[in-house]
Each structure stands twice: as C-alpha cells, then as structure tokens.
Structure 1
C-alpha cells in the first residue's frame, strides 16, 4: 500500500472529528470564533512539529521562494472562508448533510479543470460528474415534494449555494497548498508539508485575530474562556491538516481528495451517535450518489 493512502484516511478521520467539535462549539462561540480555534490553537503544534522534524529527526529545512508565500496566502485565505461557510452550514442542515454538500469539491475541481484549463474529460468522467450533481439535487430535494419547481428552488437555495461554494473554495485551497509545498526546495515531502502547514496556520491565526479584534473583541475573550474544548479543535485540525498536506505532497490533489471522501462514513457515524440526528432515505441516497460520483472520477 502506498504511504499516502493510510495518511489520507487518518486525515479524513481527524477532519471529521474537528468538524464535529466545531459544530459543538458554534453555539457558544459563533461562526467566526468556532472557525478561529482551528487555527489559533493549532499553529503552536504545527511549529513544534517542524522543530521535531528538524532537530529530532534531523530532516533538512527547505529554502523558500516567492511563489511559496503567494500560494500559502491564497490557500490560507481560501481555507478560512470555506471553513466559516461549513461551520455556518451546520446551523442550517444537520451535520451529515452539511458535510456532504462540501464534499462536492472533487466534482467541482474536475469541472474547473475542464472549463478553465481545458483538461480533457473522458465519457466515464462526465458520467461520474453527472452522478455527483444528481446526488446534490437529491439532498436538496430530500425534504420537499418532488417537482421541477421545487428542484430548481432547492438547488438555488441559500443552503445549497453555501455548501457548494464551500466545496469549491476548499478545492482552491487544496490546490494552493500543494503548489506551495512543491515550491519548497531542498527538503523531503514530510518536512515540506510540515513547513507549509506551520506557515499557513500562523498566517491564518494572525489574520483572524486582527479580524476578530476589529469586528468584536468579545469573541477573542470567549475563545480563551473555552480553551479546553477549543484546544481539542486545534489539535484535531492541525493533525488532520498535517495528514492532508503530506498526502498532497506525495500524490495529486484529485486522488487524495477522492479517497478523502471516506470522511462521509465517519460523518454519518458522528451525526447518528454524537448528535442524535436522523438522516432520511433521500439524504442518505444523495450522499451515496456524491461518493459514487467521486469514486467514478478517481477510477476514470
């Protein structure tokens, strides 16, 4: 088994754990505060991870380029806003369905590649994209009577648009992070991924602190008050990100993100056992269609 596969599965599990903890914190911290703890409590761990690799494992430190900082900022900002959309989405739909909307990311990435970059799509890939789109439509229609009018209304609803936009921006973030890590020179993939993670999370923490200080200083106080539960989000987030960054340095983003859809399995378990939410048959079918479409993209 190639190394990126178990790393990706572990990253998907930690990401699901982080999202579940953020949903739990949203009531006390709000969308911005619950999003901030992912970075604010995670960046010291990311820096410590780099220090361990450098002095404990004696790995070579990379040299930086201008392109690295550009891609790191693009990826960092994209991840902040995508995370805020996802956390807000949890208040509109249940945990499993909210996560499923964001998992349209690989399908969107394939479409962006076709439209913007002119990348070719095989008939099988087109079919997989159609299956994924149908999955999103099924989820959107799960709680409405079946009709064309309701289908259009559901697909253009705020919930659907926020979820799909979240997936698209997460896709931009993933591509930017891989580009940033690959632009580092002189180090192995693990150290390159760790340095990228440390730089990005430090930038994200500084950016969000300034934003929160400007918008509402009380959010910063609340984040400090809830440090026990908030720290768990940061730990889970940085461990998941370390896995994603390492896997995407070792393998193409499309393959990593496609395998990462195993997170939906963990999501349904958390939705059912932790939050006591009920997913109806159509929502379950829609999620399975999205996963099928993504796996189809990976295969074709």
Structure 2
C-alpha cells in the first residue's frame, strides 16, 4: 500500500504549497501565482532527474510518453483556468466542492481510455466520498447559477483528464521502477508546463512575469513544494488507478475543516459533520476494495 503513503504525503505538501501560492496572488496576480508551481517547480524536477541518472539508468521516453504527458500538462493548465473562473463567479466553497467531483469523472474516463476496471464497489466508494465533499463544503447551492456550476464540473473533469494523462505516461514507459518513472514523467510534464506558462506571461502579462521574478524567494519555496507534491502524486499514479489516489486525497477536506475549527474557531454545521463522516466512510471503503 505504498500508494496510500505517497498520496497522504502529496496532499500534505500540496496544502502547504497552496498557502504559499495564496500569498503570492496579492502581489503577482492569479496568472503569476499559477505559473509559479510550474516555472519554479521545473528546476527541482530537473535536479531530481539528473541526480537519479547518476545512480541508475532512467527509462527512455518515446512519443507515446510525450503524448500522454502533453495531454496531462495542457489539461491541468486548462482545469486551473476554469477553477479560477468558478471561484471568481461563485466563491471558494462552491468551487472547491465542484473541483472535488474529479474522482467520479476520473474513474469514468480511466475506464474508457485506459480500460481500468471500475466495478460497482469501487464506483460506490468514490461517489460516497465525493458526496461527502459536497456536504462538507458548507456551500450555499440555492443561489448557484448554471454557468459557474458547468465551469466547475468542467474543471473537475479536466483535472481528472490530466491525471489520466499522467498515469498514461507512467504506464507507457518501457522500464524502470515506480520512483524512476515518476521522476521522468514529472520532469517532462513540468518542462512542458513551464514553457507554456512562460510564453503566456511573456505575451500577455509581463507585469506578472516581473512580479514572480522579484518574489523569487517565495516563488522558489512554492515551486519546490509543488514539485515535491507532484512527485508523490506521480508515485501514487504509477502504483494504482488515478481515481484511487484522488479519492484518498479527499481526506484533505476533513483535515482543512478540523484546522478551521480549532485554529480559526470557525463553526462547523451538522451537515458538514455528516459530509466529513461520508468522506471517511468512502475512503475507508475504497481502501478495503483496493486491498482486494
């Protein structure tokens, strides 16, 4: 069950990275803060790649690997754009809940594209945990317009598609252990995303580009955390279907609610407690199914 440990490490590192990126948003804007995870994460991935190559031969990526990695890279950038659009229109609570529908779409896409077995038990666990996220978000759905709802679900689907691309690239590598394959695909993916975001900022938002350079210390920290989190996401993807990884990662919602209550003294409503219980039940069910 190495994928379980890898997923929990990735979710924790991602939470810290998100906090670092949030601090940058005020100074460099949304586009600049989004670019940080890719532009400043790539050097750390490349360094890990070079270090690994000193000790052992790395797998050689072919066009299939590049194709899958490109799919994941572009889908992740597009998903981020739709996520930010949803947050702008409907706020953080609804946007977060809609993003977390990703495991459901991910399981369906994986069954179609990668022919990964779904099964009623696994699908039931994923749906149960996802329903828990919707309730635990505490979002007010009565005033949610169809446009933002559609963009939020689309963002979740695109995040799911990006995970499929990353897992496809990992499976397409001809040899190497799960760590070596994760390092290789991570380096390719972040290299593509860094190039895309640098070109985007150079053409359309040079102020943000100058901003992330001027804030290079914080940007480096966020980039390092992002690369570290992505490495462990990829290790998880190399060992089990991506929907298993992303469903287990929903425990992050429970941890965030606990921190909000204890640290920030925010009130948790009964329906949110029910949602957290459903998340834990769904995740537990998934782990039982995955253990066979």
Provide TM-score, normalisation by structure 1.
0.81
Look up the match of 2:63: 66
Aligned to 2:5: 6
Q: 1:54: Cα distance to partner?
A: 1.3
Q: Secondary structure at the match of 1:61?
A: coil
Q: Which residue of 1 aligns with 2:146?
A: 156
Cα displacement (A) at 1:27: 2.3
Q: 1:208 aligns with which of 193, 197, 208?
A: 197
SS at match of 1:60: coil
Q: Note the 1:258-277 alignment, pairs <5 A.
A: 258-269=247-258, 271=260
Change (3 A) 1:59 1:265: farther
Query: Structure 1 CA distance, aligned partners of 2:257 and 2:198?
Result: 33
Offset, 1:286 = 4.0
Structure 1 253/130 Cα, relative in aligned 2: closer, same or farther at 3 Å?
Answer: closer
Gaps in structure 1 of 5+ consecutive residues:
145-149
1:170 aligns with 2:148: no
Worse-matched range after superposition: 165-174 or 204-213 = 165-174
Inter-partner Cα distance in structure 2 for 1:155 and 1:86: 15
Aligned equivalents of 1:15 and 1:3: distance in 2?
18
Q: Quote the residue 1:147 is aligned against.
A: none
What does 1:1-300 align with in structure 2 at a 5 Å threshold? 2-55=1-54, 58-87=55-84, 92-94=90-92, 98-112=95-109, 121-122=119-120, 124=121, 127-128=124-125, 131=128, 134-135=131-132, 138=135, 142-143=139-140, 150=142, 154=144, 156=146, 158=148, 160-269=149-258, 271=260, 280-283=269-272, 285-286=274-275, 288-289=277-278, 292-293=281-282, 295-296=284-285, 299=288
Q: Tell me the SS of whatever aligns to 1:154.
A: coil
Distance 2:229 2:211 in 1: 24
Partners in 2 of 1:275 and 1:233 — Cα distance? 23
Change (3 A) 1:164 1:132: farther
Q: How far apart, CA to CA, are the structure 2 residues paired with 1:134 and 1:261? A: 11
- Please report the TM-score for the alignment, with normalisation by the length of structure 2: 0.83
Residues of 2 paired with 1:88 and 1:276: CA distance?
A: 29
User: Which 10-residue stretch deviates more, 266-275 or 96-105?
Assistant: 266-275
**8 Å Cα contact 1:100-1:287 kept in structure 2:** no
Long gaps (5+) in structure 2: none
* Contact map agreement 2:97 2:137 (CA 8 A) in 1: no
**CA RMSD between the two structures:** 3.1
